[in-house]
Protein backbone atom coordinates (compact mmCIF):
# COMPACT_ATOMS: atom_id res chain seq x y z
CA UNK A 1 0.00 0.00 0.00
CA UNK A 2 1.45 3.41 -0.93
CA UNK A 3 2.21 6.12 1.57
CA UNK A 4 -0.61 8.18 0.14
CA UNK A 5 -3.08 5.37 0.75
CA UNK A 6 -1.93 4.97 4.35
CA UNK A 7 -2.83 8.56 5.12
CA UNK A 8 -6.13 8.74 7.00
CA UNK A 9 -8.43 11.64 7.89
CA UNK A 10 -7.15 11.34 11.48
CA UNK A 11 -3.58 11.74 10.24
CA UNK A 12 -4.48 14.90 8.36
CA UNK A 13 -6.38 16.21 11.36
CA UNK A 14 -3.33 15.75 13.57
CA UNK A 15 -1.26 17.71 11.06
CA UNK A 16 -3.71 20.59 11.19
CA UNK A 17 -3.71 20.37 15.00
CA UNK A 18 0.08 20.73 15.15
CA UNK A 19 -0.12 23.59 12.67
CA UNK A 20 -2.69 25.22 14.93
CA UNK A 21 -0.31 24.91 17.86
CA UNK A 22 2.38 26.64 15.82
CA UNK A 23 0.02 29.53 15.12
CA UNK A 24 -0.93 29.67 18.82
CA UNK A 25 2.74 29.92 19.82
CA UNK A 26 3.21 32.74 17.33
CA UNK A 27 0.19 34.49 18.79
CA UNK A 28 1.48 34.20 22.34
CA UNK A 29 4.87 35.58 21.31
CA UNK A 30 3.55 38.52 19.32
CA UNK A 31 0.26 39.36 21.03
CA UNK A 32 1.19 38.74 24.67
CA UNK A 33 0.22 42.30 25.71
CA UNK A 34 -3.36 41.36 24.82
CA UNK A 35 -3.40 38.42 27.23
CA UNK A 36 -5.51 39.54 30.21
CA UNK A 37 -3.72 39.84 33.53
CA UNK A 38 -6.61 38.62 35.58
CA UNK A 39 -7.24 36.30 37.14
CA UNK A 40 -3.87 35.35 38.55
CA UNK A 41 -1.66 37.79 36.60
CA UNK A 42 -1.65 35.25 33.78
CA UNK A 43 -0.31 37.82 31.31
CA UNK A 44 2.74 38.48 33.46
CA UNK A 45 3.25 34.74 33.93
CA UNK A 46 3.32 34.11 30.18
CA UNK A 47 5.64 37.07 29.61
CA UNK A 48 8.10 35.74 32.20
CA UNK A 49 8.90 32.79 29.94
CA UNK A 50 8.50 34.21 26.43
CA UNK A 51 12.01 33.28 25.20
CA UNK A 52 11.20 29.63 25.89
CA UNK A 53 8.66 29.81 23.08
CA UNK A 54 11.65 29.02 20.89
CA UNK A 55 11.87 25.57 22.50
CA UNK A 56 8.24 24.91 21.60
CA UNK A 57 9.00 25.91 18.03
CA UNK A 58 11.90 23.43 17.87
CA UNK A 59 9.71 20.64 19.26
CA UNK A 60 7.05 21.37 16.66
CA UNK A 61 9.72 21.39 13.97
CA UNK A 62 10.83 17.90 15.03
CA UNK A 63 7.22 16.70 14.81
CA UNK A 64 6.88 18.23 11.35
CA UNK A 65 10.08 16.58 10.10
CA UNK A 66 9.13 13.18 11.53
CA UNK A 67 5.68 13.37 10.01
CA UNK A 68 6.95 15.03 6.83
CA UNK A 69 4.09 17.49 7.14
CA UNK A 70 4.27 20.38 4.72
CA UNK A 71 1.32 22.03 6.44
CA UNK A 72 3.16 22.18 9.77
CA UNK A 73 6.41 23.34 8.16
CA UNK A 74 4.58 26.21 6.49
CA UNK A 75 2.79 27.10 9.73
CA UNK A 76 6.10 27.09 11.63
CA UNK A 77 7.39 29.96 9.52
CA UNK A 78 5.12 32.24 11.55
CA UNK A 79 6.43 31.54 15.10
CA UNK A 80 10.01 31.29 13.82
CA UNK A 81 9.72 34.76 12.29
CA UNK A 82 8.13 36.20 15.43
CA UNK A 83 10.75 34.66 17.75
CA UNK A 84 13.66 35.86 15.62
CA UNK A 85 12.16 39.35 15.49
CA UNK A 86 11.64 39.42 19.27
CA UNK A 87 14.75 37.66 20.54
CA UNK A 88 17.10 36.99 17.66
CA UNK A 89 19.26 40.01 18.40
CA UNK A 90 19.98 38.68 21.90
CA UNK A 91 21.90 35.70 20.49
CA UNK A 92 24.16 37.76 18.24
CA UNK A 93 27.84 38.09 19.25
CA UNK A 94 28.58 40.76 21.81
CA UNK A 95 29.97 43.98 20.29
CA UNK A 96 33.49 45.03 21.14
CA UNK A 97 34.17 47.21 24.14
CA UNK A 98 33.38 50.84 23.47
CA UNK A 99 34.44 54.18 24.85
CA UNK A 100 32.81 55.62 27.97
CA UNK A 101 31.92 52.13 29.17
CA UNK A 102 31.23 50.77 32.64
CA UNK A 103 31.10 47.11 33.65
CA UNK A 104 28.27 46.59 36.13
CA UNK A 105 27.99 43.42 38.22
CA UNK A 106 24.69 42.46 39.84
CA UNK A 107 24.09 39.69 42.38
CA UNK A 108 21.49 38.66 44.90
CA UNK A 109 23.97 37.01 47.26
CA UNK A 110 21.28 35.25 49.38
CA UNK A 111 20.78 35.87 53.06
CA UNK A 112 21.68 32.23 53.79
CA UNK A 113 24.88 32.20 51.75
CA UNK A 114 27.40 29.99 53.59
CA UNK A 115 30.42 31.36 51.71
CA UNK A 116 30.20 35.15 51.48
CA UNK A 117 33.98 35.47 51.15
CA UNK A 118 34.08 33.11 48.18
CA UNK A 119 31.13 34.93 46.65
CA UNK A 120 32.88 38.28 47.01
CA UNK A 121 36.07 36.92 45.44
CA UNK A 122 34.09 35.53 42.51
CA UNK A 123 32.46 38.90 41.93
CA UNK A 124 35.74 40.80 41.93
CA UNK A 125 37.06 38.39 39.28
CA UNK A 126 34.50 39.81 36.85
CA UNK A 127 36.41 43.09 36.75
CA UNK A 128 33.39 45.29 37.31
CA UNK A 129 33.43 49.01 37.93
CA UNK A 130 30.24 48.83 40.00
CA UNK A 131 29.03 45.86 42.05
CA UNK A 132 25.45 45.82 43.33
CA UNK A 133 24.35 43.32 45.98
CA UNK A 134 21.04 42.35 47.54
CA UNK A 135 20.22 40.31 50.66
CA UNK A 136 23.30 41.67 52.39
CA UNK A 137 22.80 40.76 56.05
CA UNK A 138 24.85 40.88 59.24
CA UNK A 139 27.37 39.28 59.84
CA UNK A 140 28.04 38.64 56.12
CA UNK A 141 28.13 42.42 55.55
CA UNK A 142 31.52 42.66 57.27
CA UNK A 143 32.90 39.91 55.03
CA UNK A 144 31.72 41.66 51.87
CA UNK A 145 33.21 44.93 53.09
CA UNK A 146 36.56 43.31 53.81
CA UNK A 147 36.90 41.31 50.59
CA UNK A 148 35.37 43.78 48.16
CA UNK A 149 37.10 46.70 49.84
CA UNK A 150 40.45 45.57 48.44
CA UNK A 151 39.16 46.31 44.92
CA UNK A 152 36.37 48.82 45.51
CA UNK A 153 37.40 51.68 47.81
CA UNK A 154 33.93 53.26 47.81
CA UNK A 155 30.72 51.62 48.98
CA UNK A 156 27.38 52.32 50.54
CA UNK A 157 24.83 50.00 52.16
CA UNK A 158 21.24 50.78 53.10
CA UNK A 159 19.00 48.08 54.49
CA UNK A 160 19.87 44.85 52.71
CA UNK A 161 21.16 46.38 49.45
CA UNK A 162 24.62 47.73 48.75
CA UNK A 163 26.78 49.26 46.05
CA UNK A 164 30.57 48.94 45.72
CA UNK A 165 32.38 51.25 43.31
CA UNK A 166 35.83 51.87 41.87
CA UNK A 167 34.88 55.54 41.64
CA UNK A 168 33.91 58.06 44.32
CA UNK A 169 30.34 58.14 45.60
CA UNK A 170 29.45 61.75 46.28
CA UNK A 171 25.90 61.29 47.55
CA UNK A 172 23.73 58.42 48.73
CA UNK A 173 20.33 57.90 50.30
CA UNK A 174 17.70 55.32 51.10
CA UNK A 175 15.12 54.83 48.34
CA UNK A 176 11.73 53.96 49.83
CA UNK A 177 10.09 51.41 47.52
CA UNK A 178 8.06 49.70 50.26
CA UNK A 179 4.54 48.62 49.28
CA UNK A 180 1.87 50.07 51.55
CA UNK A 181 0.94 46.72 53.11
CA UNK A 182 4.50 45.91 54.17
CA UNK A 183 5.75 46.48 57.70
CA UNK A 184 8.00 49.36 58.65
CA UNK A 185 11.66 48.51 58.51
CA UNK A 186 11.46 46.85 55.09
CA UNK A 187 14.31 48.61 53.24
CA UNK A 188 15.50 47.31 49.89
CA UNK A 189 16.45 50.33 47.80
CA UNK A 190 19.19 52.93 47.56
CA UNK A 191 20.38 55.74 45.31
CA UNK A 192 23.98 56.84 44.94
CA UNK A 193 25.61 59.38 42.65
CA UNK A 194 28.85 57.88 41.32
CA UNK A 195 31.49 60.24 39.93
CA UNK A 196 32.84 58.21 37.01
CA UNK A 197 35.50 59.35 34.50
CA UNK A 198 32.60 59.87 32.06
CA UNK A 199 30.46 62.05 34.29
CA UNK A 200 28.07 61.57 37.16
CA UNK A 201 25.83 58.51 37.14
CA UNK A 202 22.80 58.08 39.39
CA UNK A 203 22.99 54.43 40.43
CA UNK A 204 19.88 52.83 41.88
CA UNK A 205 20.09 49.44 43.59
CA UNK A 206 16.77 47.73 44.26
CA UNK A 207 15.37 44.42 45.41
CA UNK A 208 11.69 44.30 44.51
CA UNK A 209 9.31 42.06 46.47
CA UNK A 210 9.26 38.38 45.61
CA UNK A 211 6.62 36.79 43.42
CA UNK A 212 5.15 33.32 43.78
CA UNK A 213 3.69 30.95 41.20
CA UNK A 214 0.80 28.84 42.45
CA UNK A 215 -2.46 27.26 41.41
CA UNK A 216 -4.02 30.73 41.26
CA UNK A 217 -1.33 32.05 38.93
CA UNK A 218 1.35 34.64 39.64
CA UNK A 219 1.22 36.54 42.93
CA UNK A 220 2.98 39.75 41.94
CA UNK A 221 0.86 42.63 43.26
CA UNK A 222 3.47 43.79 45.79
CA UNK A 223 6.26 43.57 43.19
CA UNK A 224 4.20 45.59 40.74
CA UNK A 225 3.43 48.27 43.33
CA UNK A 226 7.10 48.57 44.25
CA UNK A 227 8.04 48.84 40.55
CA UNK A 228 5.58 51.74 40.13
CA UNK A 229 7.07 53.57 43.11
CA UNK A 230 10.59 53.07 41.79
CA UNK A 231 9.54 54.11 38.30
CA UNK A 232 8.20 57.40 39.62
CA UNK A 233 11.47 58.09 41.44
CA UNK A 234 13.56 57.34 38.35
CA UNK A 235 11.32 59.57 36.23
CA UNK A 236 12.02 62.48 38.58
CA UNK A 237 15.78 61.82 38.68
CA UNK A 238 17.69 64.96 37.75
CA UNK A 239 21.04 63.33 36.95
CA UNK A 240 21.08 62.66 33.23
CA UNK A 241 22.69 59.19 33.23
CA UNK A 242 20.92 56.54 35.31
CA UNK A 243 21.81 52.91 35.94
CA UNK A 244 19.26 50.75 37.74
CA UNK A 245 20.62 47.47 39.04
CA UNK A 246 18.97 44.80 41.12
CA UNK A 247 16.91 41.71 41.68
CA UNK A 248 13.66 42.94 40.19
CA UNK A 249 11.92 39.59 40.52
CA UNK A 250 10.70 39.84 36.95
CA UNK A 251 11.90 39.67 33.37
CA UNK A 252 12.11 42.68 31.09
CA UNK A 253 9.15 41.32 29.11
CA UNK A 254 6.91 41.16 32.20
CA UNK A 255 4.35 43.96 32.07
CA UNK A 256 4.67 44.33 35.84
CA UNK A 257 8.05 46.01 35.27
CA UNK A 258 6.73 48.35 32.58
CA UNK A 259 7.05 51.43 34.87
CA UNK A 260 10.81 50.78 34.61
CA UNK A 261 11.30 49.24 31.17
CA UNK A 262 9.18 51.93 29.50
CA UNK A 263 11.78 54.57 30.41
CA UNK A 264 15.03 52.60 30.73
CA UNK A 265 17.07 50.72 28.14
CA UNK A 266 17.40 46.95 28.52
CA UNK A 267 20.24 44.65 27.45
CA UNK A 268 20.67 44.40 23.68
CA UNK A 269 22.66 41.14 23.74
CA UNK A 270 22.50 38.05 25.91
CA UNK A 271 19.78 36.09 27.70
CA UNK A 272 21.71 35.66 30.99
CA UNK A 273 19.07 33.55 32.74
CA UNK A 274 19.93 34.00 36.41
CA UNK A 275 17.33 32.13 38.48
CA UNK A 276 17.24 29.58 39.94
CA UNK A 277 20.99 28.98 39.96
CA UNK A 278 20.66 25.20 39.63
CA UNK A 279 18.59 25.41 36.45
CA UNK A 280 18.09 29.04 35.45
CA UNK A 281 14.93 29.65 33.43
CA UNK A 282 14.59 33.44 33.61
CA UNK A 283 16.68 36.56 34.12
CA UNK A 284 15.22 38.40 37.07
CA UNK A 285 18.52 40.11 37.93
CA UNK A 286 18.63 43.20 35.76
CA UNK A 287 20.84 46.07 34.63
CA UNK A 288 18.81 48.90 33.05
CA UNK A 289 19.95 52.37 32.02
CA UNK A 290 18.90 55.84 30.89
CA UNK A 291 21.06 57.96 28.59
CA UNK A 292 23.18 54.84 28.24
CA UNK A 293 23.17 51.55 26.35
CA UNK A 294 23.30 48.15 28.01
CA UNK A 295 25.22 46.47 25.24
CA UNK A 296 25.66 42.95 26.59
CA UNK A 297 24.73 40.98 29.69
CA UNK A 298 26.07 37.59 30.73
CA UNK A 299 25.93 35.25 33.69
CA UNK A 300 28.92 34.58 35.92
CA UNK A 301 29.82 31.28 37.62
CA UNK A 302 27.59 30.11 40.45
CA UNK A 303 28.32 31.20 44.01
CA UNK A 304 26.75 30.21 47.31
CA UNK A 305 23.51 31.92 46.27
CA UNK A 306 20.33 30.61 44.66
CA UNK A 307 20.85 33.31 41.97
CA UNK A 308 23.60 33.48 39.37
CA UNK A 309 25.50 36.78 39.22
CA UNK A 310 25.27 38.78 36.00
CA UNK A 311 27.66 41.30 34.46
CA UNK A 312 26.67 43.94 31.92
CA UNK A 313 28.58 46.42 29.81
CA UNK A 314 26.99 49.86 29.95
CA UNK A 315 28.06 52.50 27.42
CA UNK A 316 27.24 56.02 28.54
CA UNK A 317 25.91 58.49 26.01
CA UNK A 318 27.83 61.52 24.77
CA UNK A 319 28.37 64.47 27.06
CA UNK A 320 25.94 67.41 26.79
CA UNK A 321 26.89 70.25 24.42
CA UNK A 322 28.55 72.11 27.30
CA UNK A 323 31.15 69.36 27.51
CA UNK A 324 30.32 68.83 31.17
CA UNK A 325 28.38 65.99 32.78
CA UNK A 326 24.79 66.84 33.55
CA UNK A 327 24.25 67.67 37.21
DSSP 53-88: HHHHHHHHHHHHHHHT-HHHHHHHHHHHHHHHHHHG
Q: What is the SS3 assignment for 108?
A: strand
For residue 70, is pLDDT > 90?
no
Nearest to 308 by CA among 220, 247, 264, 243: 247
How large a percentage of the chain has pLDDT more than 70? 91
33 CB contacts (<8 Å, ≥6 apart)? Answer: 43, 255
For residue 323, is pLDDT > 60?
no
118, 138, 187, 303, 304 from 112: Cα distances, Å = 14, 11, 18, 12, 8
CA separation for the pair 67, 75 (Å, rounded)? 14
If you compute the radius of gyration of the chain from its CA atoms, what whole number of angstroms results? 23
Domain boundaries, the chain: 3-91, 101-316
Nearest to 176 by CA among 214, 202, 152, 206: 206
Q: What is the pTM of this model?
A: 0.88
- Greater confidence (35 vs 69) lies with 35
Please give the CATH number for the structural domain made up of 101-316: 3.60.10.10
**pLDDT digits 0-9 by tens, 75-114:** 888 998 998 989 988 988 877 767 789 999 999 999 999 9
CA separation for the pair 195, 289 (Å, rounded)? 16
Instruction: Check residue 14 and give its pLDDT.
Output: 65
Amino acid sequence: MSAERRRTPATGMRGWLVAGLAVAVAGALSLHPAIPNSPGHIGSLVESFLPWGGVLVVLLLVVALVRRSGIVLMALLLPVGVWVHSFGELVLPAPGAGARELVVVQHNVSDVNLDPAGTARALTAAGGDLVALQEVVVPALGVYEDVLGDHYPHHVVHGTVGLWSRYPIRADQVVDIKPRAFEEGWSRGLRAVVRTPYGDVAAYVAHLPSVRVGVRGLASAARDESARILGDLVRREKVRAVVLVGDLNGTVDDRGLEPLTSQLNVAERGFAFSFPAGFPVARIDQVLARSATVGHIRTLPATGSDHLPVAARVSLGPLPASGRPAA
